[in-house]
Amino acid sequence: MTDDRRSAGAPTLEDVARAAGVSRATVSRVINGVRNVDPAIQEVVRQAVSVTGYAPNRAARSLVTRRADAVALVVSGAGVEAEAEAGVGAEAEAGSGAGRAGGGSRATTGGGGSFTAQVFADPFFGRVVTGVVDYLRPRGMHPVLMFAETSRARDEVVAYLRQGSADGALVVSTHAEDPLPGLLTEAGLAAVLFARPARPVPISYVDLAHQDGARLAAEHLLARGCRRPATISGPLDVPAGRARLTGFRDTLARHGHAYIPVAEGRFTQESGEAAMERLLAEHPDLDGVFAANDLMATGACHVLREHGRRVPEDVAVVGFDDSSAALACRPPLTTVRQPVEAMAAEMARLLLDRPPGPSSPATSVIFEPELVVRASA
Amino acid sequence: MTDDRRSAGAPTLEDVARAAGVSRATVSRVINGVRNVDPAIQEVVRQAVSVTGYAPNRAARSLVTRRADAVALVVSGAGVEAEAEAGVGAEAEAGSGAGRAGGGSRATTGGGGSFTAQVFADPFFGRVVTGVVDYLRPRGMHPVLMFAETSRARDEVVAYLRQGSADGALVVSTHAEDPLPGLLTEAGLAAVLFARPARPVPISYVDLAHQDGARLAAEHLLARGCRRPATISGPLDVPAGRARLTGFRDTLARHGHAYIPVAEGRFTQESGEAAMERLLAEHPDLDGVFAANDLMATGACHVLREHGRRVPEDVAVVGFDDSSAALACRPPLTTVRQPVEAMAAEMARLLLDRPPGPSSPATSVIFEPELVVRASA
């Protein structure tokens, strides 16, 4: 854009100095947070800034403070070099088949379309944005939204952080094989992940006690009197997918259920429908289903209804996440709540509150799930 | 963040100059796009930048280019001064009752929660982000996500743009009374809206031919043999809500249908359910429903099924938007497609391609809707 447009009538540092009755240098020191300025003078300058509507040029201030006051919110995938050649246009991974989520329970392979389109088809990402924004806003900071599903896009993210355009990265990984966490730690850049990385990398993260969540689901189905429970798992190459299956199976085993039918899904509604069809075909007498996220549980409810099974009378269904999909489903889903907004806010807090210095150790914060009982089980 | 962390081992301008065998000044001129540099030397410098992994400090470059290479993507509401006092925390408007959308068809008052949470409960916003990101990425630009539902938050957006942190704003307004478009034009800031503003403001926008879309819905219901069509409208203080109702009514009037029952909704699934209940109570013999967005159509399908009406055999249902909700619905919705991604990309193009100078005239681009026939009608 042209500078004329931006600076049309914009108040200057001189205007502030004049209004405050102090020198330009004093205004500059107050604005840039230099210490040893008389508090009374600081207040006068702040009022003058407010009255004049002066907005310091952020680029200039960044040079002084060495802070961008911005955070990169990165949704990353696992595209490799060859896919990057297909362009940043981003349909590179649409055809890659298995949709794997790096740790949480978000669907990333809907009916094709660009990576960005697939990402936002899942209510999970909106909740992450909500949590991040609600934490950053009161601090005068904003998230820069970036996507990194190809090699080229990952390089862009690393370069963006290196050049100081953001004060660190909040990363939501959609694939178990995502190389971005490793690239960020190698480059010595500040970053926090949503969910434990599938490969061990010394990087901070927030996560949920997934096994505990699955235990809550199993105990609820047992308490309802379910005798033949089955499960639609998430992708099993993902820590969260495996942990939810393990937690469900282990709890039922402790109650004498030696064998639990499993159909693997990909955290999408369609994969939940397909998995439910398989389970019904092989185990027509099942009376309870734990789906590892709400979208798959919604798909399961659709298929059960099409087969004339009533939910919850004939088959009880429990989801996972407590996303907007749980409320939109008919019947509304009994589900295991993952406090995504609070987890995302904590991710931002970990990034911004970390001790200074290049070698602060990686840390983790694990949240506890909660059972939310509605109509489906 | 600390500078140590960011610059740990980061290559410098000197490293590039050494690798290229040219002066620092030459490197600087190439990086900042100064003309009259021998193309061969430009190429040598570019290779040296690539080999060394040098990333120029963006703040420093911004000072030279006067460009931020960032665009603010703003979701705005209509909070007034008093609400702003409730804090930027943003629940100020959760209790304000009527959810009005500034022009498109997005739901903004779900079951409470923060403004940001309400925004992302509607698949519409993810589609806007997708279109914007898909346009910006190949240009090396990224959206900074901002929310502006209170007076204080609006001031922050204006200040952010004034200080040059972004090269303009893409604005999605969720309320008819939103003052942000007016504030931006008054401040002489570059901005483009998604959908025509409810109040006349000299600002560029993209929009859909809403009446044509509603005409497609009406003609489809008539062609199916519907004799007693009704409609669930969007909020009628919003241009898009009014236009869709007008288009539907006018088309049916031309086919002899003098009176069409209407129940007003708020673009949310719940409001669609409530509207469908009212329509069924007053017009139990209706055989076709046009809902002004897919979320309301989904709600209508739920209620119709609960009342034992088959969709589409007893009552045909047509939605609007062709969002992910249309595919998730059972039966999948016949709907009017609004090409939100393409519209959002065009919004970004209008912002970035506008002629330089403070007084480029406002322009508008109107997209044509399309009927997508699935199972619900």
Please tell me which residue of chain B has the smallest CA distance to A168: B1
The pTM score is: 0.77
- Beta B316-321 vs A370-372: how paired, if at all? unpaired
**b/e B301-337 (16+ beta carbons within 10 angstroms → b):** bbbbbeeebebbeebbbbbbbbbbbbbbbbbebbbbb
Q: Are B164 and A57 in contact (CB under 8 A)?
A: yes
Please check the confidence at residue B349 and state whether its pLDDT lies above 60.
yes
Q: What residue spans in chain B does CATH classification 3.40.50.2300 cover?
A: 70-208+341-368, 210-337
- Per-residue pLDDT at B101: 40
- Chain A positions touching B160 (Cβ under 8 A) are 55, 58, 142
Which residue in chain B is spatially nearest to A341 when comparing CA positions? B117
Considering only residues B360 and B300, tell me which one the structure prediction assigns the higher pLDDT: B300
- CA atoms of A125 and B191, how far apart (whole Å): 26
Q: What is the pLDDT of residues A84-97, one digit of tens each?
A: 333 333 333 333 33
Query: β-strand B204-208 against B191-194: which pairing, if any?
Result: parallel
Location of each CATH 1.10.260.40 domain in chain A: 3-65
Residue A91's closest CA among B278, B341, B244, B275? B341
d(C-alpha A69, C-alpha A165), whole Å: 9
Structure tokens at B183: 């504030």
Q: What is the Cα–Cα distance from A211 to A241, expressed in whole angstroms? A: 10
Cα gap A131→A136, rounded to integer Å: 9
B172, B206 contact by CB (below 8 A): no
pLDDT of residue A237: 87
How many CB pairs (< 8 A) connect A and B? 205
Question: What pLDDT was estimated at residue B3?
Answer: 40
Query: Predicted ipTM?
Result: 0.74
Find residues 219-238 of chain A whose CB sits inside 8 Å of chain B. none
- CA of A127, closest CA in chain B: separation in Å? 7
B210 pLDDT higher than 80: yes
Q: Mean pLDDT over all residues of chain A?
A: 83
CB atoms under 10 Å from CB of B256, counted, come to 7
A41-45, A180-184, A304-308, range with the lowest pLDDT? A41-45
- Sign of the CA dihedral running B51, B53, B54, B59: positive
Closest CA in chain B for residue A146: B142
pLDDT value, residue A336: 98
B357 touches chain A (CB under 8 A): yes
More confident residue, A163 or B249: B249
Alpha-carbon span B267 to A321, nearest angstrom: 24
Q: Is the pLDDT of residue B166 over 70?
A: yes
Assess B139–A contact: CB distance below 8 Å, yes or no.
Answer: no
**Mean local confidence (pLDDT), B251-272:** 95
Sequential DSSP letters for A98-130: ----SSS-----SSS--HHHHHHTSHHHHHHHH
Handedness of CA A357, A358, A359, A361 (dihedral sign): positive
CB contacts of A58 in chain B (<8 Å) are 59, 62, 68, 160, 163-165
Domain formed by A3-65, architecture: Orthogonal Bundle (1.10)
- Helix, strand, coil fractions of chain B, as percent rounded to 5: 45, 15, 40
Cα torsion A184, A185, A190, A195: sign: positive
Terminal-residue alpha carbon distance, chain B: 56
Domain A70-208+341-368, second-level architecture? 3-Layer(aba) Sandwich (3.40)
CB-based contact, B281 to chain A, within 8 Å = no
pLDDT computed for residue B311 by the predictor = 97
Q: For A210-337, which CATH superfamily applies? A: Response regulator (3.40.50.2300)
The residue ranking higher by pLDDT, A18 or B354, is A18
Question: How sure is the predictor about A225, in pLDDT bands with cuts at 50, 70 and 90?
Answer: very high
Q: Which amino acid is at A128?
A: V
Cβ neighbour number for residue A26 with a 10 Å cutoff: 20
| Alpha carbon A371 to its chain's center | 21
pLDDT tops 90 at residue B242: yes
CA distance B44 to chain A (A): 20
Query: Closest residue of A to B328, CA-based?
Result: A269
Q: Give the pLDDT band of residue B79 (cuts 50, 70, 90).
A: low
* C-beta atoms of A55 and B163 within 8 A: yes
Q: Tell me: pLDDT of B84 over 60.
A: no
* pLDDT at res. A117: 76
Q: Is A189 on the interface with B (CB under 8 A)?
A: yes
Write down the pLDDT at residue A57.
62
pLDDT given at position B123: 82
Helix B39-52 and helix B13-20, axial crossing angle in degrees, nearest 10: 120
pLDDT score of B358: 61
Instruction: Compare A138 and B297 and report the one with higher pLDDT.
Output: B297
Asked whether the beta carbons of residue A145 and residue B147 sit closer than 8 angstroms, the reply is: no
- pLDDT single digits (tens) B99-153: 334 344 554 333 346 788 778 777 888 899 999 998 998 888 999 999 998 888 8
The answer to whether B68 contacts A62, with C-beta atoms less than 8 Å apart, is no
B158: its two tokens: 């204006």
**What is the distance between the alpha carbons of residues B271 and B284, in angstroms, rounded to a whole number?**
19
- What backbone phi and psi angles, to 5 degrees, belong to A256? 90, 0
Does residue A121 contact residue B327 with C-beta atoms inside 8 Å? Answer: no
**CA dihedral of A39, A40, A46, A51, whole degrees rounded to 10:** 170
Which residue has 């409730």 as its token pair?
A: B86
List of residues 6+ apart from B85 with CB closer than 8 A: none
Q: Which residues are paired to A171 by β-bridges?
A: A74, A193
Q: Which two tokens stand for residue B189?
A: 């800031």
Give the per-residue pLDDT at A294: 96
Tokens (6 digits) for A201: 């990398």
Residue A188 forms contact with B (CB below 8 Å): yes
C-alpha distances out from residue B140 to A29, A96, A148, Å: 34, 25, 13
Share the mean pLDDT of chain B: 83
**pLDDT on residue A34:** 64
Span of A342-356, B267-281, B302-316 with lowest mean pLDDT: A342-356
Neighbour-count burial for A67-101, b at 16+ CB within 10 Å, e otherwise: bbbbbbbbbbbbbeeebbeeebebbbbbebeebbb
The 10s digit of each residue's pLDDT in B31-54 is 665 667 787 887 788 778 767 767
B63 touches chain A (CB under 8 A): yes
